[in-house]
Amino acid sequence: MPRELILHGRVQGVACRYYCGQYGRRMGLRGAATNLYDGTVRVLLDTDDDNAIRDYMRALRTNPHNIHFYGHISDIDVYEHTGPISGDYVF
């Protein structure tokens, strides 16, 4: 089942959606990222592989490839997702 990640911190207006897409592509994941009205970013991942999701979240937090990202992620909430994979920034 796909997953929904909600990214908290300074994540809007700082290239976060691009950053999420870059790590998704590097890791062979398909998904989408969208700015939400409450200042968070929602990332939908089209995978049910818990290890891939864990690795993706670790990469977002640590930025091992030094991809340009001008904010910071303080917390990530994870939920199961049953709808379509869509958003502002598709990867």
Walk me through the domains of the chain, giving residue ranges and CATH numbers: 9-90 (3.30.70.100)
Rounded to an integer, the average pLDDT of 57-72 is 96
Residue 10: its pLDDT value, please?
A: 98
Residue 31: its pLDDT value, please?
A: 98
Residue 83: its pLDDT value, please?
A: 93
Q: Report the distance separating Cα 33 and Cα 14, nearest Å.
A: 13
Residue 75: its pLDDT value, please?
A: 98
Give residue-wise pLDDT tens across range 6-34.
999 999 999 999 999 999 999 999 999 99
Confidence (pTM): 0.95
